[in-house]
Structure 1
Amino acid sequence: MVLPTPALAVTGATGRLGGRVARRLAAAGTAQRLVVRDPARAPDLADAEVVPADYADPTAARHALAGISTVFMVSATESADRVSQHQSFIDSAVAAGVDRIVYVSFVGAAPDATFTLARDHWATEEHLRASGLRHTILRDNLYLDFLSLLAGDDGVIRGPAGNGRVAAVAQDDIADVAAVVLGRPEAHDGACYDLTGPDSLTLTEVAAKLSSAMGRTVSYHPESIEEAYASRARYGAPDWQVEAWVSTYLAIAAGELATVSDTVQRLTGHPPISLDDYLHRLR
């Protein structure tokens, strides 16, 4: 029996965020097409078909999106050409006859954002707006899930964040919001949502919470910009990536990640997960 074409496609389903969204949609009984680079890694979900495609391959992308109305678009893996990959995929969506894209962006996305990758997200947003597609933009803060990974082996979080604050958001909360939006996408056309956690914390406060929860001492060392570049030079990463790493902390110092929004509570009906709650779940 030939199954009907699903109206919804989810990208990034082999990753942490896209996989969470796909599993929530499957639990709700929503048919979906999982557009992934490696089908062997795609989750095995009810009412989900798997189609291979890469953002930078227009032919494969058009084929993968044929017959689809709404696309959940997770940003591509960080790379020097990520913006061009995003633009190519959006163009492929237009060519395939897609109606709308729900795009995962970053809070404070702007052409002059301190965080360099937030500028990339702005460029993608602008291309999406110019495409003529209906769209919804989910601007996530830093992932709460990754705060516990900021400390080095010596238990020190290093970065030029000063006393700035960050309202980090859990990936589970982002996925909950995405599932709500994708459940009735037409109700969210044109919306741009900032997604944050319930608290705006300094990295000193983050370190204290990690110390309490993890049973080891974690501290924060506010590096200078020069120290930040020097301490990351040993990784041998390309310049654009090192700049992205350092500018994450500089965006915190500039106050660009500090604002707490009510979006998670308002759209999902439940409060966002705090760092304390998240760390408690890890125990």
Structure 2
Amino acid sequence: MIEIAVTGVTGHLGGAVARRLSAAGLPLRLLARSPERAPALPHATVVPASYGDRPAAERALHGVEVALMVSAAESADRVDQHRAFIDAAAAAGVRHLVYISFLGAAPDATFTLARDHHATEEHLRASGLTWTALRDNLYADFLLTLPGPDGVIRGPAADGRVSAVSRSDVADCAAAVLRTPAPHANRVYHLTGPEAVSLADVAALLTRHTGRPITYHPETLPEAYASRAHYAAPTWQLDAWISTYTAIASGSLSPVTDHVALLSGHPATPITALLPT
């Protein structure tokens, strides 16, 4: 069996993919910037590596045929980190790289970070590697955490809708592609939930589930920037946060696909199934 490299193993998605592959008995190489935080899994070896350190990444990937590249943490130099890792994978002899991208990745995407994903995909296509791009939508798990302490979801999403996908479904899809990568060579998949919901829908759902009044306030753009000013975040990060909502408003995050079922073998998980018990 070929050894599969998995990045992002100290996070939600990479860790979930690694656990699925380990449970299937597949040999793994877990790449982690902080190896001490990596999960201890059967059939897995932990190797220190980071996206921004190309020589270390190249050493960590040497001898690997298939690798999962979970997108790096949000930062001003995220695309540069991605490019360095892709170049390291190509130099190390990786044959197939699976990349976690974002729905609607494009140079002019409303969601500013989707532009980073487009730039990464373009570099991947030019790298000579065989690749697969899994473009997931916003996480449904994330939508359920949006209410503030006052029970209000705030954002300039207007009455737009989003076909949010569960993290678990994305992990299932990524694990399936990594187990049998050949049929997915140079393919793009759009991973969504089974329906598109509005933030007002999310507020109503949480209200029914918790018994606590949850409401949605569709902010204007000036309100959105003002309400987040206290974080003192850099401009690029504020733009990213706020464009999450304006992307919903634009309708670009509303398409629903069957790609989760196509890859995972089960229907996409509805947001109602993710409510805490």
TM-score (norm 2): 0.98
The whole-number CA distance in structure 1 between the counterparts of 2:260 and 2:211 is: 30
Residues 107-186 of structure 1 mapped to structure 2, 5 A cutoff: 107-186=103-182
Q: In the TM superposition, what whole-angstrom CA distance separates every residue of 1:123-178 from its partner, at most 9, and x where no partner exists?
A: 00000001010000000000111112111110101100001000000000000111
Question: How far did 1:43 drift?
Answer: 0.6
User: 1:56 is aligned with what amino acid?
Assistant: G
The whole-number CA distance in structure 1 between the counterparts of 2:130 and 2:38 is: 27
The whole-number CA distance in structure 2 between the counterparts of 1:196 and 1:9 is: 25
Asked whether 1:89 is paired with 2:105, we answer: no
Find the residue that maps to 1:46 and give its secondary structure: coil
Q: In the TM superposition, what whole-angstrom CA distance separates every residue of 1:193-252 from its partner, at most 9, and x where no partner exists?
A: 000111100110111011111221111000001110111101111111000000010000
The structure 1 segments of at least 4 consecutive aligned residues displaced by more than 3 Å after TM superposition are: none
Question: How far did 1:273 drift?
Answer: 1.0
User: 2:176 is aligned with what amino acid?
Assistant: V
The whole-number CA distance in structure 1 between the counterparts of 2:181 and 2:54 is: 25
Q: What CA RMSD, in Å, does the superposition of the two structures yield over aligned residues? A: 0.9
The whole-number CA distance in structure 1 between the counterparts of 2:145 and 2:94 is: 38
Residues 148-227 of structure 1 mapped to structure 2, 5 A cutoff: 148-227=144-223
User: 1:46 is aligned with what amino acid?
Assistant: P
Asked whether 1:17 is paired with 2:13, we answer: yes
Which of the numbers 272, 275, 278 marks the counterpart of 2:268?
Answer: 272
User: 1:256 is aligned with what amino acid?
Assistant: S
The whole-number CA distance in structure 2 between the counterparts of 1:265 and 1:24 is: 17
Find the residue that maps to 1:33 and give its secondary structure: strand
The whole-number CA distance in structure 1 between the counterparts of 2:207 and 2:12 is: 25
The whole-number CA distance in structure 2 between the counterparts of 1:155 and 1:114 is: 27
Say if 2:193 and 2:269, in contact at 8 Å, map to a contact too.
yes
Please list every run of 5 or more consecutive structure 2 residues that lacks an aligned counterpart in the other structure. Answer: none
Q: In the TM superposition, what whole-angstrom CA distance separates every residue of 1:32-77 from its partner, at most 9, and x where no partner exists?
A: 1000111111111111000000100011101100000111000000
Identity %: 60
The whole-number CA distance in structure 1 between the counterparts of 2:92 and 2:262 is: 33
Aligned to 1:37: 33
Residues 253-268 of structure 1 mapped to structure 2, 5 A cutoff: 253-268=249-264
Question: How far did 1:105 drift?
Answer: 0.3
Question: How far did 1:191 drift?
Answer: 1.0
Asked whether 1:248 is paired with 2:249, we answer: no
Residues 26-105 of structure 1 mapped to structure 2, 5 A cutoff: 26-105=22-101
Q: In the TM superposition, what whole-angstrom CA distance separates every residue of 1:82-127 from its partner, at most 9, and x where no partner exists?
A: 0000000001111111111100000000000000000000000000
The whole-number CA distance in structure 1 between the counterparts of 2:263 and 2:97 is: 18
User: 1:128 is aligned with what amino acid?
Assistant: L
Question: How far did 1:271 drift?
Answer: 1.0
Total equivalences in the alignment: 277
Question: How far did 1:7 drift?
Answer: 2.5
TM-score (norm 1): 0.96
Of 165-174 and 267-276, deviating more is 267-276
Please list every run of 5 or more consecutive structure 1 residues that lacks an aligned counterpart in the other structure. Answer: none
